[in-house]
Structure 1
Amino acid sequence: MSAWLMTGSRSGDSPARPKVVVSRGIVRRAPARTGPTARRWGRAAVTVFGLCVLVTGLAPAAQADTVIATVPVGSFPQGVAITPDGAHAYVTNYGDASVSVIETAGNTVTDTVPVGTIPVAVAITPNGDYAYVTNSGVDNSVSVIETAGNTVIGAPIPVGDTPVAVAITPNGDYAYIANNSDNSVSVIDTATNTVIGAPIPVGDTPFAVAITPNGDYAYVTNNGGSTVSVIDTATNTVIGAPIPVGINPFAVAITPNGDRAYVTNLDNTVSVIDTATNTVTTTIPVGNTPSAVAITPDGARVYVTNRTGGTVSVIDTATNTVIGDPIPVGTNPYGVAITPNGDRAYVTNNLDNTVSVISIGSDCTGSLCSSGSSGSSGSSGSSGSSGSSGSSGSSWTGSFGS
């Protein structure tokens, strides 16, 4: 055991014995002391030794942006959304028609909710009461989960063909659903859980949708057209021409101040759209086959899952450059969501049937914690708090296919 100071005798021993002192790992024999001095020395030794136990007993802190837990979930997990109170993460399991509910305090699955076939995306209402899940199989529907009891309420809501993405307006009144196979967006009134109006035509094979923080616009990635459509939510019509981005755009997330939209592209890039002009201002190289994207609540960082690379890239929004090395996670990472306090990122690993929990800060209390650790091996640990789909400017919570 290492300590700054350790004594081998009690204060007040008479006659005083020579004491062994361990200082900075070097063993020395201290001179004998008697009387009041010996008592003062003994008390000091005990005090310092106690302090050393306190210091050396602390768990080592993990470096920022390292995996601190790996949580087993259902088959082929895709989308992920976190409740506004930070208590739970909801994960869609594409392969077994279910949603896993992770308690973020312990990073363990506490519930599994059956939904429709091939669930892809999930979004949670701003009040945290409901989770909306797109069922992209033959159902072509949206299931609504009441989060208090983790039960599906009502009948599935019919929408367009192959619904693969969902985003909820900041006031919680409407859910926007991207229908991949019929090039449209359906709008659900969350008060009645019915579709309102006709489907909104967008570009070719829409994959993702995100809504600006003021609720005025919905940005939709058109995977087949390599563009982004912008919907005016007041009229539910597309405004302006489609915005050209990279090849086969997947996901989109909007900064908390609403100034920029970040779009992942199959050509291993992220396009940055200035929402004031709806033009691309920057293109950022990232990892292989970028998929999901989420932005921290302070708008400082963007987290991008790289599917074929098995990693997560981190972009500094001040410079729009990738910082640090890619973070190793599981196999085929798809979805990503960031907790409302910005401390954790939850990443679904589609081929591992797991969720990796990344510590964004340097604090760490999970089972995988160690100084300088990284990667996603191991079992679930304890730590984490939470957020919701749409928090941190990100409302894309799933991607179609594998």
Structure 2
Amino acid sequence: MPGISVPGTPRQGSARRGCRRRSWRALVGAAAAGLAVIAGSAAPPAAAGPPPPPTLPPTAQSGTFAYVANNLDDNVVVIDTDTRSVVDTIGLTDDDQGPNPVAVNPQGTRVFVANSVSNTMSVILPVARIVLSVGVGGSPFGVASSPDGNTAYVTNNTTNNMTVVDTRTDPLTVLATVHVGTRPFGLAVAPNGTRAYVANQLDNQLAVVDLSTDPPSVLTAVDVGQFPQGVAASPDGSFVYVTNFVDGSLSVIRTADNTVVETIELGQGTSPSHVAVKPDGSRVYVANFGTGNVSVIDTTTNPRRIVTTVDVGQQPESVAVTPDGAQAYATSSGNNSVSAINTATNTVIGNPIAGFNNPLGVSIGTRTVGDTPTRLSLEEGNGNGDGSPGTLGKPGSLLKARLTADGEPLVAREVVFGAGSKALCLKATDRRGRTTCVLPPLARGGKACYTATFAGDGTYAAATETVCRAHGRPLKQ
């Protein structure tokens, strides 16, 4: 029976890369060199005419959203977990290819995507639909967020290291690169942010990384099963769960003394890929790549036991649980679909969401947005952002934004300036609610539209505004 289709068509140019399957399996048994990062900035947009009416995507509202890496289309598909329907598709930059693992920061305001073909990490700002990109190491196959949402950690499989990225800046800033073991894959960050746990496939170990040092450093390595892959931490940080792909097992590590306290046999041929933990810690979900199902494990018993398995389609790569614990989402790379599991009944809800193109990573985040209306004004003017004059349509031309609520300025709120999906500036408002962004020059005869977006927060609603210009002059509104 057909499932729910993902709307839209693949991004132009993806067909030529359709033969590549950019999951970790392309690297098994081979010491492949990482592909070079495609450098350079995207060309200025060639928009024309008056600005379109300002609109905000569904992610601008309060809700819980699943973000799925659509690997062969080089985009991320957004699913509203309330309706289990696709509500947005966000294309990556031309520098980003082969999206694989995904992580959402706890605030739901940034989505981190490791791109295993281009050796980059994307940071998606889902409300502004803006994508930033930074080069990392070779073949990144793991990504995780810090608890405060400001830092992303990326494991690089062929360069045997972990990249630490400050996600608050534009351009994004690499803070450190740390050697963590041989063929690092999945990772998890402790709930208190002091440790990262990295599965090293060829060492058959879990590296414990101290994140409180500058730069981070490896404290110890714990022997687990063969070819460890997925990693997840319990909500209280007491245990870490590691899938062992070759063994068909799950290692349980007690973090107090970094000791394996239990090994759960998942079954012959299961080839477990990734793992997720229910927010209350009572259940663990394991995506079994080899048997096309998800193992549900009860962690409240001693020993822990498998409650059941749920069929989710061929070759499930990843699994994630909603923050309320009511649903788990599993990607099926073999069936090009995503299944939503009712965690109370351990059954798939309705039809799978179909129409993907090699879905790999999935991560889920909740946004809480206030209902106090805001107003964001945007205009173009002269100046260099430092009080000095500029010339319209040339370097020094400014976008000037002001954010208010009930006529009062909103202070220290992030405003994202962009052109299409390309970020121009990430700036905080001053005491008057104002902020500016210096524009790049336009070629003679060129035209472009620019947008400023406030994503909203727990008190205030999101807002956006658009302005267009031609070389040397604003376009009429």
**Is 1:272 matched up with 2:296?**
yes
Task: State the one-letter code of the partner of 2:165.
Answer: I
For structure 1, which segment, 151-160 or 215-224, has the greater mean C-alpha deviation from structure 2 after superposition?
A: 151-160
Paired position in structure 2 for 1:226: 248
Contact 2:227/2:246, CA 8 A, preserved across alignment = yes
Contact 1:143/1:152, CA 8 A, preserved across alignment = no
| Runs of 4 or more consecutive aligned structure 1 residues displaced over 6 Å after TM superposition | 382-386
**Is 1:67 matched up with 2:67?**
no
SS in 2 for 1:240: strand
Gaps of 5+ in 2: 1-57, 59-79, 370-452, 458-477
What is the CA-CA distance between 1:301 and the residue it aligns to? 0.4
What is the CA-CA distance between 1:276 and the residue it aligns to? 2.2
**Is 1:243 matched up with 2:228?**
no
Change (3 A) 1:198 1:282: same
Cα deviations by residue, 1:57-79 (Å, 9 ceiling, x for unpaired): xx9xx992121222222211101
Q: How many residues align?
A: 288
Alignment partner for residue 154 of structure 2, among 108, 125, 133?
133
Paired position in structure 1 for 2:226: 204
What is the CA-CA distance between 1:154 and the residue it aligns to? 4.0
Cα deviations by residue, 1:25-44 (Å, 9 ceiling, x for unpaired): xxxxxxxxxxxxxxxxxxxx
Equivalents in 1 of 2:349, 2:297: separation in Å?
Answer: 20
Task: State the one-letter code of the partner of 1:269.
Answer: N
CA RMSD, Structure 1 to Structure 2 (Å): 2.6
Task: State the one-letter code of the partner of 2:225.
Answer: G
Equivalents in 2 of 1:143, 1:158: separation in Å?
Answer: 9
SS in 2 for 1:199: strand
Equivalents in 1 of 2:251, 2:186: separation in Å?
Answer: 14
Equivalents in 1 of 2:204, 2:228: separation in Å?
Answer: 6
What is the CA-CA distance between 1:152 and the residue it aligns to? 3.9
Alignment partner for residue 108 of structure 1, among 127, 130, 135?
130
Paired position in structure 2 for 1:156: 177
Contact 2:116/2:141, CA 8 A, preserved across alignment = yes
Equivalents in 2 of 1:342, 1:219: separation in Å?
Answer: 29
Change (3 A) 1:152 1:117: farther
Paired position in structure 2 for 1:327: 353
**Is 1:262 matched up with 2:285?**
yes
Higher fraction of strand: 2
Contact 1:67/1:329, CA 8 A, preserved across alignment = no
Structure of greater relative contact order (alpha carbons < 8 Å, 6+ residues apart): 1
Q: How does 1:2-401 map to 2 (within 5 A)?
A: 64-73=83-92, 74-109=96-131, 111-137=132-158, 139-149=159-169, 151-192=172-213, 193-245=215-267, 247-266=270-289, 267-277=291-301, 278-341=304-367
SS in 2 for 1:197: strand
Task: State the one-letter code of the partner of 2:294.
Answer: V
Paired position in structure 2 for 1:397: none
For structure 1, which segment, 73-82 or 62-71, has the greater mean C-alpha deviation from structure 2 after superposition?
A: 62-71
What is the CA-CA distance between 1:288 and the residue it aligns to? 1.3
Equivalents in 2 of 1:314, 1:342: separation in Å?
Answer: 22
Equivalents in 2 of 1:294, 1:120: separation in Å?
Answer: 16
Equivalents in 2 of 1:384, 1:269: separation in Å?
Answer: 37
Cα deviations by residue, 1:332-378 (Å, 9 ceiling, x for unpaired): 100001112499xxxxxxxxxxxxxxxxxxxxxxxxxxxxxxxxxxx
Contact 1:252/1:293, CA 8 A, preserved across alignment = yes
For structure 1, which segment, 259-268 or 244-253, has the greater mean C-alpha deviation from structure 2 after superposition?
A: 244-253
Change (3 A) 1:94 1:384: farther
Task: State the one-letter code of the partner of 2:160.
Answer: N
Equivalents in 1 of 2:146, 2:200: separation in Å?
Answer: 20
Gaps of 5+ in 1: 1-58, 344-381, 387-402
Equivalents in 1 of 2:194, 2:212: separation in Å?
Answer: 7
TM-score by length of 1: 0.67
TM-score by length of 2: 0.57
Change (3 A) 1:384 1:297: farther
Equivalents in 2 of 1:241, 1:250: separation in Å?
Answer: 16
Structure with bigger gyration radius: 1
Equivalents in 2 of 1:170, 1:202: separation in Å?
Answer: 22
Cα deviations by residue, 1:368-399 (Å, 9 ceiling, x for unpaired): xxxxxxxxxxxxxx99999xxxxxxxxxxxxx
Task: State the one-letter code of the partner of 1:308.
Answer: G
SS in 2 for 1:340: strand
What is the CA-CA distance between 1:200 and the residue it aligns to? 0.6
SS in 2 for 1:241: strand
